[in-house]
Structure 1
Amino acid sequence: MASYYGARHHGRKTASGEPFNQHALTAAHRTLPFGARVRVTNLNNKKSVVVRINDRGPYAKGRIIDLSAQAARELNMIRAGVVPVRVERLE
């Protein structure tokens, strides 16, 4: 399951040290290294987006990735808030 975060965190420092930009294609993951690129696919509609890991989280039970608001828009998940996803690390 994936969730997203946006305006409330915009401009705050991420775990990687860079400021969070809700308009960038970034995400938070508990263990993937900073800078890793992953393809996230919304299993409800098969839309995909490639994001770069720059933060840690999510910490909500059952969620594996927290996306920026822009990535969530591209996956058409803003209204749902939380959706089932597949995460594939890219080389």
Structure 2
Amino acid sequence: MATKTERIEMRTDRDSGAKIAQAAEREQKSVSAFVLDAATSAADRVLARSEHTIMPAKQFDELLQSLDEPAAAPALTRLARRERRFIRE
């Protein structure tokens, strides 16, 4: 278990504080431990959603197929074929 050296403070209204204290008691945890567990779980979910992209399999297959088949870009093709104005020697 990691040594706890960081401190987080928060304010709450009476009803929320009482609800949290009651839930902590039912879980046989201190309020601090209960809040830390809940906040850590929520943070894990948020970070997982932001680090991974989840999509249906069909959409993923279409994405991969679109990467394998280059789109027509006539303007870019014309620009790439133009004679260069400057040549590095």
TM range (shorter): under 0.3
- Structure scoring higher RCO (CA < 8 A, sep ≥ 6) equals 1
Richer in helix (by share): 2
The structure whose Rg is larger is: 2
- The structure where strand makes up a greater share of residues is 1
